[in-house]
Structure 1
Amino acid sequence: MESALEDIEFLALSANRVEVLDAVAEVSHTRRELQERTGASQPTLGRILRDFEDRNWVRQTDREYAATPTGRLVAAGFSNLREIVETEQRLRQVANWLPTESMTFDLRQLRDATITTPTQTRPNAPVQRVLGLLRDAERVEIVSHAFNEQSMNVVRRRVAEEQQTFEGVFSASAIDAIADDSALRERLLELVDLPGAELRIVDDDVPVALTAADDVVHLFLRDGDGLLQASVDTDDDTVLAWAHDVHDRYWNDARPLDAADLAD
């Protein structure tokens, strides 16, 4: 009897085997239908189906082939493994910077996420990505340990034009950094005074830099030295629900930002 790893290797070494098993796990197929779906030759299909029958993964009824209960189990498990590995491959370059201690959702929810990293020609690409989201959004929620000048300017303009509502929760250190710069302090005061904007402060550290712009969640990813390395954004419903929950928890624990917090 073959080991589990040998059966996994047997399936994984042939894209045609995976495609055939997925197909018959969904619905019964004739050999001609399987050939049209996979592009495999009839001799190749014959070998695959015989190997599957030997493992009791597939059963032939009349002229059609269907997965057995154990065949469907293998198909589902292999599909699950493939999804996990594909997600890991996409996230591999940024995995060390993800705020996983705050992320309560399955990382597979990020399998279709957009990953933006700095390049030699676009060193500010992650910031430009979030600015594009902010320019189009009608509702913005932010929880962050920083509030960069460009984002603040976009939000201030959009809210002033009554095209956006804004609820931001920032660490006290983020607000202190703005207050130390007279020009930035004046712009933030203008934002605080706008009826469509509300900002709050938390005294504790904020481990995420999260923006929910309408139905898109954007995360800035920084290394241990605080340097921006990448950003990830997604419109996945589960991640969006998580982002709203994070914002609500920080929002409820925060205190309103007022002019006194920005005093010279």
Structure 2
Amino acid sequence: MSLPLDGIRSPLEEIEFLARSPNRIRVLDTLVEEPMERHDIEYETDVSRATLARILGDFEQRGWVTRDSRQYETTPVGDYVAKEFTDLLKRFEPVPGLNEVVEWFPREGFDFDLGCLAGAEIIRPSKSDALAPTTHITRRLRIADRVRVTSYSHLSDVMEVCWRGTVEGTLELESVVDRRALERIGTDPPDG
């Protein structure tokens, strides 16, 4: 990508430059950690010699990296670009799975920051483990000290863990359940 006539690239062009190449991101992230010689960068990033030469040349042209003899290191602008791009990637982490989660949220009157789902893992049942979601929830509940639950169904194992934690005083619980689930909880016979 060549410089425009005024010598300044747009922010979108800079983002596109990095986003189009995982190799560029890896090299920049590696150099942010510490200055390195080219062969060390090649080893750490597993980027081919020719590709690495192009990347480092592009970074030097943009003022993101400097070379002192044989060592490359990021400039303050390079540090800034790496941090901001990494933050942007983290904010976009939940995007690929959001559609299958958001369809369960009410459209109106529900103010929820979807960014809270960054790093979230979607657990699905499978033929070999039909109870995977319930097992995952109960395992997480056992180590939690504060929980908010919204449910349209009654999951006995989940309710048992919540009940035990609140009775023992190790869990602070806020829960919203569907009326039918609440009726089911009230009629569920206690275990032995």
**If the length of structure 2 is used for normalisation, what is the TM-score?**
0.68
Q: Is the 8 A contact 1:144 1:170 kept in 2?
A: yes
- Asked if 1:61 corresponds to 2:64, the answer is no
**How many residues are matched?**
181
- Report the equivalent of 2:24: 17
What displacement does 1:91 show?
3.9
Change (3 A) 1:163 1:19: same
The residue identity in structure 2 corresponding to 1:85 is F
1:7 to 14, 38, 42: 14
Q: Is the 8 A contact 1:140 1:164 kept in 2?
A: no
1:39 corresponds to 2:42? no
CA pair 35-165 structure 1, distance change in 2 beyond 3 A:
closer
Q: Which amino acid aligns with 1:187?
A: P
Q: SS at 1:97's partner residue?
A: coil
Task: Tell me the CA shift for residue 68 of structure 1.
Answer: 1.4
Residue correspondence of structure 1 range 59-208 to structure 2 within 5 A: 59-97=66-104, 101=110, 103=112, 106-107=115-116, 110-111=118-119, 113-119=120-126, 124-133=131-140, 136=142, 143-144=149-150, 148=154, 150-151=156-157, 154-155=160-161, 173=179, 177-178=183-184, 181=187, 184=188, 187=190
5+ long unaligned stretches in structure 2: none
1:121 CA drift (Å): 6.2
Contact 1:155–1:166, Cα closer than 8 Å, also in 2: no
CA spacing shift, 1:65–1:163, aligned 2, 3 Å: same
Paired residue secondary structure (2:122) = strand
Quick one: which amino acid aligns to residue 116 of structure 2? L
- Aligned equivalents of 2:162, 2:55: Cα separation in 1: 62
**Structure 1 spans left out of the alignment, 5+ residues:** 191-264
Relative distance call for 1:150 and 1:92 in structure 2 (3 A) is same
What's the offset of the Cα at 1:31?
Answer: 0.8
Structure with greater proportional strand content: 1
After TM superposition, the score normalised by the length of structure 1 is 0.52
Amino acid paired to 1:54: Q
| Cα distance change, pair 18–166 in 1 and its aligned pair in 2 (3 A) | closer
Matched to 2:34, the amino acid is V
User: Which amino acid in 1 is paired with 2:190?
Assistant: R
Q: Distance in 1 between matches of 2:84 and 2:51?
A: 24
Within 1, Cα distance between the matches of 2:185 and 2:36?
A: 68
Higher relative contact order (CA 8 A, sep 6+): 1
Identity of aligned residues (%): 30
Cα distance 1:70–1:153, how it changes in 2: closer, same or farther (>3 A)? Answer: closer
> Structure 2 vs 1, CA of residues 28 and 137 (structure 1 numbering), >3 Å: closer, same or farther?
closer
